[in-house]
Chain A
Amino acid sequence: MATTAEQWVLVEMVQALYEAPAYHLILEGILILWIIRLLFSKTYKLQERSDLTVKEKEELIEEWQPEPLVPLVPKDHPALNYNIVSGPPSHNIVVNGKKCINFASFNFLGLLDNPRVKAAALASLKKYGVGTCGPRGFYGTFEIDVHLDLEDRLAKFMKTEEAIIYSYGFATIASAIPAYSKRGDIVFVDSAACFAIQKGLQASRSDIKLFKHNDMADLERLLKEQEIEDQKNPRKARVTRRFIIVEGLYMNTGTICPLPELVKLKYKYKARIFLEESLSFGVLGEHGRGVTEHYGINIDDIDLISANMENALASIGGFCCGRSFVIDHQRLSGQGYCFSASLPPLLAAAAIEALNIMEENPGIFAVLKEKCKQIHKALQGISGLKVVGESLSPAFHLQLEESTGSREQDVKLLQEIVDECMNRSIALTQARYLEKEEKNLPPPSIRVVVTVEQTEEELGRAASTIKEVAQAVLL
């Protein structure tokens, strides 16, 4: 039946052909021929881009001159010639051949030349050698006395569930942030955050929202704005992560962050808090546990605490601590952890011994606080210089009260003060920044660091020396 139906349709078609008007057939014939012509004609490229001949390309290649790889650095660049320290950078330091009292190294608890720490490091050196020759995943994890032990001790000391160690302080926070915050997530960060945090944020490619330094009202305003945005698009809001990144004691300003308000904001606006405690670990709090102990906040409220062991613990490296759920993630996604060799055992052993000393003498933190207060008071009222930083911060800045107008001039003036102080055996240094790379460049300043090893007499002498020199140079 199908074939007859087909034949029937065919007959109909042929009949229709005979019955159609002539012009119709001619028009359709022309259209068919046109289509056939288009199908078989050669395709042509769009002539937008004029192709260069080989000779022209070679000429372009010959002509092109790159910039020099690095621009020439002028001989009198302030950061070109480093101060050379002969011998250990301990309390009595020899800088450029001059014997001075050290007011510039971050050796807050004086553990740099502690004999117990040195002995522990020596024992580790005799047992393991110097390097580990591998990342943590490839036979670079040593258990007894070294990496696992140190992580355990740090977690117990900070009263968190787990800790993870990095082999370099700068890389700690710079690897921790991109492990959690990815493209599309929102980060609220203080405008005075240090360079390592800025690099971590840059590597994470998240949306960065800066709020004014220590201004909780500004932060709340930004959080509210974000909430309004979220209500417009609730599906996206459900998968976007929000982070607040602050430092315990700010390196650039010497101020402390208002942690209780931050925790309240965290729960109100559903964000996570990352706390960078490089300067406050081993300094604040009754037992040296940092800002959380200082304010009496439950440490589980803070999602991640990151610190480096290069200040109070006088070793090298850094660590992050927090709940197991959070910290474990870094073992497979922290770039500075997975792709870099592990911490040399002698440095880890030194850190463990330093922790032991911290736990045995909790009195040193009160002593350090006293000394900070003392020198803060003594340095008030210098004509021409103002103290920037809180009285309980052991690392604070001395800035010019009135700037001369150009940063270069300011830097030169401060360098004169530093050099003259060095001549009178007080070792100070200027706070160094990368001028073109910082987001919020702080004004030039002299960094003063207080350690437990400085006696009251030395503190008094330092204060009076700085006063005299400032008067001589600035007036």
Chain B
Amino acid sequence: MRPGPGGCCCRRPVRANGCVANGEVRNGYVRSSAAAAAGQIHHVTQNGGLYKRPFNEAFEETPMLVAVLTYVGYGVLTLFGYLRDFLRHWRIEKCHHATEREEQQVIVRIFDSEKSLRYTGNIIKDVINMGSYNYLGFARNTGSCQEAAAKVLEEYGVGVCSTRQEIGNLDKHEELEKLVAWFLGVEAAMTYGMGFATNSMNIPALVGKGCLILSDELNHASLVLGARLSGATIRIFKHNNMQSLEKLLKDAIVYGQPRTRRPWKKILILVEGIYSMEGSIVRLPEVIALKKKYKAYLYLDEAHSIGALGPTGRGVVEYFGLDPEDVDVMMGTFTKSFGASGGYIGGKKELVDYLRTHSHSAVYATSLSPPVVEQIITSMKCIMGQDGTSLGKECIQQLAENTRYFRRRLKEMGFIIYGNEDSPVVPLMLYMPAKIGAFGREMLKRNIGVVVVGFPATPIIESRARFCLSAAHTKEILDTALKEIDEVGDLLQLKYSRHRLVPLLDRPFDETTYEETED
């Protein structure tokens, strides 16, 4: 049997509509009998050839014992917290964090919870950085980018002191916007001073009351804030689940606005390129197919994926081999792969003209600082290969190799890793609250800096350590890091994986479950 479109790994006869003959297909999973003995299920997509390369994403299920122990751990933590609060209240234990002044206490407490953050004051040198979003390695203090930025700083100074529409539009900004448009393959682009603000200030300019926003479950806080500020109705679909999205689209068009049943003015789908907490990549071909079928608009936030995915670093659109014109609004940030700060939005000329006149940022907020602009220009030219060296191409290749190597080694060691095989964001599951702090400290003792995340940024039992790979990591650095991670993993008993890759977040979508719910 020849392998089916999309490169699946089973050997069953494939029917025309992409279903496998006597295996079950649910949401793109195929239970292949060859591996049935080991109980393996892979995410394989066979949607009639939408995908030109295998899309391997896996979220291994939490082992039952670990889940129970994690809840117990949180329970103990909460009780301990109450005990210490009690001791502090009765002055048995000294209170270290700041308290409200006496004369201000007559007024209602300004906020309810008291959390404190203290710096430890220790200095540790020569730590391998596995936590910064430095995907292509442009965040360094030597090299051509830095020299160009230094020259521009001498000439232009640091600040701008005005908004884009008043007198803050420098010739550098126009140059940058043309370059960004060329890089992305769109008609025009516009840049902003802060990535977070790009989302929260432009989504309200695009949609308003009477429009519908369909947003992924795990979208970033800036997208959520922008959607809320716009005043449109927000509906959430399950993470990366295309059936859920299609169901919402169908219902929205057929039934219209709630109560009045008027048709929606516009429907905007908000997705991200790479989700930074899960390491998953959006199923862009399917989203674009759905968007075309139902005439919705697509807003793609490529904060993490621009520069990091794709053979020439053009992001998730190039990774899947799609046409940038299919995405209505391509948004991204310069903070991660370009080593600068700021954000951009690219798209058709009408879109960018509209944003130039109606975006909140263009009217009320300062434009980008000139040396930062120069850093972006130089690094973008380097990635495109226009500066005459092949440094850009090498960095991209190095990042892709690092990603595959690192993920493979960690899986072999037995850790539970979430996410797509090609994403440079690698979340390693820790689960228990005590291990969160312990992992961070142990790794720092061995001179490796990692980022550990817990509730509320992640679901309560799924706390994780997140590694961000970079093109600046050489194989030796990765090997050192892997050795230490292995050691700490054995010490803290983190190797939970039983190689049973059961889909966790993408539960098999049952048509009947939605039919019965009342609207």
Listed in ascending order, the chain A residues whose CB lies under 8 Å from chain B are 52, 57, 60-61, 64-73, 77, 79-80, 82-90, 93, 95, 102, 104-107, 111-113, 117-118, 121-122, 125-134, 138-140, 148, 161, 167-171, 174, 179-180, 194-196, 199, 202-203, 238-242, 270-272, 300, 303, 308, 310-311, 313-316, 323-326, 328-329, 331-333, 335-336, 338-341, 343-344, 346-347, 350, 427, 429-434, 437, 447
Contact = CB atoms under 8 A, between A and B. Distances in A.
A300 B160 CA distance: 32
B145 interface: yes
B195 A340 contact: yes
B244 interface: no
A121 B159 CA distance: 11
A130 B372 contact: yes
A181 B61 CA distance: 39
20 contacts: A60-B254, A69-B351, A73-B357, A87-B171, A104-B162, A122-B150, A132-B335, A133-B134, A134-B132, A168-B193, A174-B200, A180-B110, A333-B111, A335-B221, A340-B222, A341-B335, A344-B372, A429-B166, A432-B165, A432-B364
Interface of B: 97-101, 104, 106-111, 115-117, 119, 129, 131-134, 138-141, 145-146, 149-150, 153-171, 174, 193-197, 200-201, 204, 206, 220-222, 225, 228-229, 250, 253-254, 263-267, 294-297, 328-329, 333-336, 338-341, 350-351, 353-358, 360-366, 369-372, 375, 449, 451
Given A125-B150, A129-B140, A328-B98, A90 B369 contact: no
A168 B197 contact: yes
Contacts of B117: 328, 331-332
Nearest to B154: A118
B361 A170 contact: yes
B168 to A, nearest CB: 7
B436 to A, nearest CB: 14
Contacts of A79: 165, 356-357, 362-363
Given A111-B159, A130-B339, 8 more contacts: A66-B295, A118-B157, A129-B339, A168-B365, A203-B229, A240-B108, A316-B160, A437-B360
Given A104-B162, A138-B451, A171-B196, A130 B146 contact: yes
A195 B158 contact: no
A328 B254 contact: no
Given A128-B141, A133-B133, A323-B98, A106 B161 contact: yes
A104 B364 CA distance: 14
Contacts of A240: 108
A168 B335 CA distance: 13
Interface centre among B140, B296, B339 (most CB of A within 10 A): B339
A241 to B, nearest CB: 5
B340 to A, nearest CB: 5
Nearest to A303: B110
Contacts of A447: 166
A427 B169 CA distance: 14
A72 B357 CA distance: 11
Contact of B194 (A52, A130, A171, A333): A171
B364 A196 contact: yes
A270 B107 contact: yes
B158 A314 contact: yes
B170 A66 contact: no
A213 B222 CA distance: 32
A329 B160 CA distance: 30
A88 B166 contact: no
B357 A122 contact: no
A67 B165 CA distance: 27
Interface centre among B134, B158, B225, B335 (most CB of A within 10 A): B158
A316 B161 CA distance: 8
B356 A82 contact: yes
Given A133-B139, A180-B110, A106 B162 contact: yes
Contacts of A344: 340-341, 369, 372
B168 A105 contact: yes
Contact of A89 (B167, B229, B296, B372): B167
B426 to A, nearest CB: 14
Given A71-B354, A85-B170, A87-B155, A316 B162 contact: no
Contacts of A82: 164-165, 169, 356
A418 B362 CA distance: 20
A340 B340 contact: no
B104 to A, nearest CB: 8
Contacts of A80: 353, 356-357
B158 to A, nearest CB: 4
B196 A66 contact: no
A324 B195 contact: no
Contacts of B361: 170
A64 B107 CA distance: 55
List the 10 closest pairs (A to B, CB-CB), nearest first. A168-B194, A70-B354, A324-B98, A340-B196, A314-B159, A82-B169, A170-B365, A129-B141, A105-B161, A130-B375
B170 to A, nearest CB: 5
A434 B358 contact: yes
A93 B373 CA distance: 19
Given A86-B171, A310-B161, A347 B369 contact: yes
